[in-house]
Amino acid sequence: MPRVVLGVCGGIAAYKSVELLRLLTEAGHDVTVVPTENALRFVGSATFEALSGKPVSTSVWDGVDRVAHIDIGASADLIVIAPATADFLARASHGMASDLLSNTLLSATAPVLIAPAMHTQMWEHPATAHNVALLRSRGNFVLEPDSGRLTGKDSGVGRLPSPFSIFDAATALLSGTVGLLSGRHVVVTAGGTQESWDAVRFLGNRSSGKQGIAIARAALAAGAQVTLITGSVQEAVPAGVNHVKAPSAAQMLDAVRESMTQQPDALIMTAAVADFRPIDVQEGKIKKDSKSHEIPTLNLQQTTDILATMCSERGSASLPVVIGFGAETVQSDEELMALGVTKLKAKGCDMLVVNNVAHGAIFGEDYSEVIFMDANSRQKHSGTKDHIAQALVARLGSILEGLH
């Protein structure tokens, strides 16, 4: 279980650290929260203690018997400071040790991730720019703040990145995928398609888009440019992606083909594309006939297999890597792998990720079990969909590296 220290400084954005703490603990990390005294003016220690399951202190005089001001940082696998104020950046860059958090930072041997938050004028001040550059030169990972609404009526650069963005960066540091996809362009499809029957009805599926969006976020955190093509999704689309909506199978095929004109390095097809669509689509709503009770006939035709099509067209599109997903309903891993081998050969992709969705499993859940399959290997992965996404990005990085 990775040990993470979450440092929280005294800015109004401190309330967002609560959501970040929840994400870290739900991912299975052992989190110790180390706030500054001013941070506790915004979020009480009881909140941090309840969510982390550990006592919270701001003083170097607590835990003296175990030398806490050294032990906390020295035993951590990752230090995250969010939010980091201008004052803390100044103290950290000059090696000051005036409270428990700054002592913890000085004793850390693990990677350090810093997420600044402050007013635009403070962020753009030459002193802050110098402090950030100094921290980065020492190997600290300092995120760029977002632009948007700040305290009061102010807007501009200086907003704390979203908890999901910070969590993704933290996960990338823990998994070793930071910078793995720098300079790469990755296209990801996510969610289920909806095939219209009439003006209000459609054929769809249970896909929530969680896995595809998690992969997009992981690729972003690994430094990639990401184009995310979505059907119907229940998750928020991450900031920083080029988002294209494609509700139907035909629209998704068009969107994927259009994305190929940008010559991406990889296509990851997680979308649950409908295999069938109605032949006849009514312009208005199909009405019930209360007298005859006649049931309308639904005639179907097959949709285009986007994964197989893109694999067959990849030569003209100069697409190096294609990764597909396959959801099956089976009784065993052996049966799942057998179907996966057949599908891998039939589709022509470089790698196939298969999972068992029997009895409604996986769809819409945070947890998943998958098998990575290629021509030479089979690897089973289980855990949160964020964990699966990180594993997939690491695998993609290895594949792309092997092409050069």
Residues labelled catalytic: 205
Cα–chain center distance at 224: 12
The DSSP bridge pattern shows strands 225-230 and 185-190 to be: parallel
Beta bridge partners of 338: none
Half-sphere exposure (Cβ direction) of 118: Cα atoms closer than 13 Å = 22
Other CB atoms within a 10 A radius of the CB of residue 54 amount to 12
Write the CB contacts of 314 (distance below 8 Å, at least 6 apart in sequence): 322
The DSSP bridge pattern shows strands 367-373 and 195-196 to be: unpaired
Write the CB contacts of 107 (distance below 8 Å, at least 6 apart in sequence): 69, 70, 71, 72, 73, 74
> Could you tell me the two tokens for 272?
């649950």
- Residue in this structure with the two tokens 């996404």, named with its chain if needed: 389
**DSSP E strands: which ranges in 299-375?**
300-302, 321-328, 351-356, 367-373
State yes or no: cis peptide before 247, omega within 30 of 0: no
Helix, strand, coil content of the chain in percent (nearest 5): 40, 25, 40
Judge whether 279 and 301 are in contact, CB under 8 Å: yes
Phi, then psi, of 16 in degrees rounded to 5: -70, -20
